[in-house]
A = this chain, B = another copy of it.
Amino acid sequence: MSDKNTLIFFDIPSKIGAWSPNTWKTRYSLNHKGIPYKTIWVEYPDIEKTLKDYSIAAYTTQPDGRTPLYTLPAIYDPVTSTGLTESFVIAKYLDEKYPDKPILVPKGTEVLQKAHINATRAKIEPIWQFMLPKTNWNLNERSEAYFRRTREEMEGQTMEEMYPKGEKRKEEWKKLEEGLGQVDKWYGKEDVLVMGGEGNNACFADFAFAGYAIWIRILFGKESEEWKNVSGWQDGRWGKMIQALEKYE
């Protein structure tokens, strides 16, 4: 399948495979569109060099507002010699280059989808304290050191301090449930996906949300109490959604 014209998808490895909520958005996008690709696995300390090697510009900057911040997901399309990073930008590129494949951002929905992604992220804020440490503990050694250093600097506490325990854990987990309860209210009883319908009607906003859900499922495990909680909350809405999108994993 893979030849010199195959699209390249850059993802971050871990001890348990693909895990990142952000790169999952692009992995889902590519699978949904049915575009063949090969994955290049890049450990955190190598992201900047790898993207530079492919002349892929950074999408954003460090907190200083100037120094480029190199992030994944990224893709490199050898057919058009185009390299891009940031999952929404990538989705729009894929729609433009492959208009006959399922469309991720239907005409007229870009502003709406961005608002949905932004609103959802705000509602599930309690997720980070669980998932950043959980991520850290599952990365390969070189990424782990990098991730720990940068995140602990950002958060001003160690991963172990951040991870909620005991009563705090229950409260914060409850807050996550409540946040998802607010997102749930936007959906009609029968809606499985953001734009209605089943898996083949998925749009980018579904994958943006699914990235968070699958992050929990993968890092805690399918049989974990945590995933059973999340997939069962709100009458099983999120469990059904992830199941509807399973064919694009």
Contacts and interface: CB of A to CB of B under 8 A. Distances in A.
Interface residues of A, number: 28
Given A118-B119, A122-B122, A188 B110 contact: yes
A112 B115 contact: yes
Contact of A108 (B110, B119, B120, B195): B195
Interface string A107-134: 1111111111011101000000000000
A186 B109 contact: no
Nearest to A194: B111
Contacts of A113: 112
Contacts of A183: 115
B122 A196 contact: no
A92 to B, nearest CB: 10
Contacts of A205: 112, 115
A246 interface: no
Contacts of A186: 110-111, 114-115, 118
The 8 A-B residue pairs with the shortest CB-CB distance in the complex, in nearest-first order: A119-B119, A112-B112, A108-B195, A115-B116, A114-B186, A115-B119, A111-B186, A111-B194
Interface of A: 106-116, 118-120, 122, 182-183, 185-188, 191, 194-197, 201, 205
